[in-house]
Amino acid sequence: MDKDLEDGLLERIFMFHAIENNARLDGRSNECYRSPEIFLGINENCLGSARCTMGGSDVMVVIKPDIYKLTKEPTWEDYIKFYVTCSPVAHPKYDDVGDDNDIEGEEVSSTEESIMVDALMAMFSSIKDEMDFSNFRISKKHIWTFVVDVVVHADNGGVFDCMAIAVRGAFADVQVPRIISTMIDYGEVGLEIDSDVTFWKCRWDLWPLICTTNKLGFENLVSCNRYEDKYVKSLLMIGLKHDEVKDGDIIDYEDMNYDISKHIFYAKMRKEGGLQILSIDDMTDLGIKVVLKMFSEVDKLIRDCLEKKDKKSNTVSNRSITYV
Amino acid sequence: MNNTFSLGDYAKTNIREGIRQRSDDLIVVIPGQKLNLDNDDIRGSGIIDVNGTSVSTVCGVLTKVNKLIKVNPYGGVYNGEVGDVVVGRVVEVQQRRWKLDISSRQEALLNFTNFQLPGIKNQRRNLNDELALQSLLVRGDLISGEIHSIYQDGTILLQTRSSKYGKLGKGILVKVPFYLVTRSKTHLFKHEKGVSFVFGCNGNIWVYPYDPKNSDLAIGWSSDPHNNVPRDLMLDTIRFANCVKILATYHLDINDWTVSKAYEFSQGYDLKDISLPPVIHNVAVKVLDEMKKNGMFNK
């Protein structure tokens, strides 16, 4: 069994002293994040899927579009639904469902899942104005609804960052068949798949990323692992919107006149400790710097995966032509 | 960063290569595999008798020492043996003993009478000492010790026989699979850079800076919380700990020689890059080449 025990006093002091010298126990500096790996198209039974591993944390996102029949005019909340599951083997703190506890209190996994759903709704709420919902509408009564399932397979810190990257990748992978609505007698509406079997894609570059900035002593850390996360008293999660970063684009936070109030959509303080105003400013700056770097890396990884996917599809097409 | 690099692919290739090298002399068995043993062979752990036929029960390597045949598992839970040096964490303080988590099936026990205080020798324990010892080690503290005995029901009893073992101080604990740490005579190793190691047989490896004045004590640098480790020594400790992680990632044997080699090869990289997959791969491949040169795969 995996016990999540606290360390001894001298062990903690050694770690704090290392962090004060800008060297963490895995060698990174305080502002270094762990490089993500993105895999698209991992699940063939859905129309879009992605998996992101980031320093031991592992999040899988699966998108299953459904056709819903509505009786009223749809709002933006009807187009995407989010569900989050934290696996019990991801972290010992999630293995608390069904525990026979006499002490009343909410389960850690349920709390974490609901906070994640709130973060995803905040992400979607921030981009609903730029998103084009015309493809989601099939007829006056039928719409596509994207059911987004998020599963946390491993939690080694930075799960919200990992989840945001995986959602961005999943929407890059999604392909929805085009549905044509036809009029049948007596006012009924029939739905047919286009005979050309064409697909439409979502704009994935709208989806924002999240950076978690942790406060440990007087230092600000990004991308804490599970070991450091035990001693974090307060943390600040920054969500940031940005367009797709092309190759060669280098975003430097100091050089650009960045309007923060128009792009930060999510800021959440967690854990029991408080934060001073100056710390919030420093952590916000650090979070924005790291998120802009992550945008460059994540978008390049997504484009590489999409390029591989196109090559694979072309091979299948050529094989079909050969048989004919 | 090289985006075409994938740690999983290189790890698979490397592990396959390593197993291929080892499998010249080793026999790898799987559960349920029939073993054609001689009649006078003694079956050890990992082998059971089914209808007169010897069958292995674990995935591992078949080893034979004279008449004793057993299977050393490549996984599973650590089974203690008497005399092993282990590093464990206190999970409970009871009336006269501590319970330690050493990654085995049961928690190990450390009696107050088997614990030796530094500087105090050959004294009997009485009630006042028991009350004082309860607060000496609290939940979460790390202890290094030897396995004193193993009872019939599998309970492991530890002891700290000398001042080399005992409560551990400032340092880094690295958890590796237990089968990577081979049993040897030297599980306590001092590097010339000022960093010491405790290679626990249960896979817990303690990397800590040692004080030249008290170099034989288990506490390491100092028991004073305000006595800080110098910066260079601390960075070396962190680098050594990451070298142990590199060896564990690529399933290479972990002993004092391989850790020293990994440290030499990691000197060419910056400390903040030491956990990047390309750096891990380069260091591990160099260590693997050195192991091949020194004949560590031809026993």
Q: How far apart are CA B37 and CA B24, in angstroms?
A: 20
Nearest by CB to A27, from B1, B139, B239: name it: B239
What pLDDT sits at residue B299?
45
Q: How far apart are CA A38 and CA A35, in angstroms?
A: 10
Asked whether A59 and A146 are in contact (CB, 8 A), the reply is: no
Residue B254: strand, helix, or coil: strand
Amino acid letter, B274: I
Task: Say yes or no: B89 contacts chain A, CB-CB below 8 A.
Answer: yes
Residue B90: strand, helix, or coil: strand
For residue B273 the two structure tokens come to: 């890059």
Asked whether A175 and A201 are in contact (CB, 8 A), the reply is: yes
Inter-chain contact A7–B6, Cβ cutoff 8 Å? no
Which chain A residue shows the shortest CA-CA distance from B278?
A35
Inter-chain contact A18–B101, Cβ cutoff 8 Å? no
Chain B residues in contact with A25 (beta carbon < 8 A): 172, 238, 241
Inter-chain contact A21–B235, Cβ cutoff 8 Å? yes
Phi, psi of B87, rounded to the nearest 5 degrees: -120, 120
Inter-chain contact B276–A35, Cβ cutoff 8 Å? yes
Q: How far apart are CA B250 and CA B285, in angstroms?
A: 9
Q: What is the pLDDT of residues B251-266, one digit of tens each?
A: 788 888 899 989 989 9
CA angle centred on B97, ends B92 and B98, rounded to 5°: 30
Chain A residues in contact with B241 (beta carbon < 8 A): 25
Nearest by CB to B169, from A10, A24, A34: name it: A10
Q: At B278, which helix (H) or strand (E)?
A: helix B277-293
- ipTM, 2 dp: 0.79
What pLDDT sits at residue B227?
74
Chain centroid to Cα A308, Å, comes to 22
Question: Which tops the pLDDT comparison, B116 or A211?
Answer: A211
What pLDDT sits at residue B4?
52
Inter-chain contact A10–B225, Cβ cutoff 8 Å? yes
Q: How far apart are CA B247 and CA B267, in angstroms?
A: 15
Nearest by CB to A301, from B3, B170, B242: name it: B3
The residues, any chain, with a CB within 8 Å of residue B22's CB and separated by 6 or more, are B297
Which chain A residue shows the shortest CA-CA distance from B233?
A18
Asked whether B187 and B87 are in contact (CB, 8 A), the reply is: no
Q: How far apart are CA A69 and CA A101, in angstroms?
A: 43
Chain B residues in contact with A26 (beta carbon < 8 A): 238, 242, 245, 274-275
Task: Say yes or no: A4 contacts chain B, CB-CB below 8 A.
Answer: no
Kindly indicate the confidence band of residue B23, based on its pLDDT and cuts at 50, 70 and 90.
very low
What pLDDT sits at residue B266?
92
Chain A residues in contact with B142 (beta carbon < 8 A): 7-8, 11
Asked whether B277 and B5 are in contact (CB, 8 A), the reply is: yes
**Structural domains in chain A plus CATH codes:** 12-314 (3.30.230.70)
Q: At A127, which helix (H) or strand (E)?
A: helix A108-127
Q: How far apart are CA B91 and CA A204, in angstroms?
A: 47
Amino acid letter, B51: N
**Which A positions 28-47 lie with beta carbon below 8 A of chain B?**
28-29, 32, 34-35, 37
Inter-chain contact B234–A23, Cβ cutoff 8 Å? yes
Query: Which strand ranges, in their side-by-side order, compose the sheet holding A142-154?
Result: A36-40, A48-54, A57-69, A142-154, A80-86
What pLDDT sits at residue A26?
82
Inter-chain contact B235–A301, Cβ cutoff 8 Å? no
**Structural domains in chain B plus CATH codes:** 1-74 (2.40.50.100), 84-294 (2.40.50.140)
Asked whether B171 and B116 are in contact (CB, 8 A), the reply is: no
Distance (Å) from the alpha carbon of B104 to chain A's nearest alpha carbon: 9
Inter-chain contact A17–B228, Cβ cutoff 8 Å? yes
Q: How far apart are CA A206 and CA A129, in angstroms?
A: 10
Nearest residue to A292 via CA among A259, A243, A231, A224: A243
Q: Where are the beta strands (DSSP E) in A87-168?
A: 142-154
Write the DSSP string, B97-151: EEEEE-SBSS-EEEEGGG---TT--S----HHHHHHHHTTS-TT-EEEEEEEEE-
Chain B residues in contact with A32 (beta carbon < 8 A): 272
Strand partners, B181: B254
For residue B58 the two structure tokens come to: 């674990």
What pLDDT sits at residue A21?
85
Task: Say yes or no: A13 contacts chain B, CB-CB below 8 A.
Answer: yes
Q: At B283, which helix (H) or strand (E)?
A: helix B277-293
DSSP tag of B179: G
Q: How far apart are CA B249 and CA B180, in angstroms?
A: 11
10-residue stretch averages of pLDDT, chain A, 324 residues long? 66 85 85 84 84 87 86 84 89 69 61 88 86 83 89 89 93 85 75 76 86 86 81 84 70 60 71 79 85 85 83 50 32
Chain B residues in contact with A13 (beta carbon < 8 A): 170, 225
Asked whether B243 and B205 are in contact (CB, 8 A), the reply is: no
For residue B10, pLDDT beyond 70: no
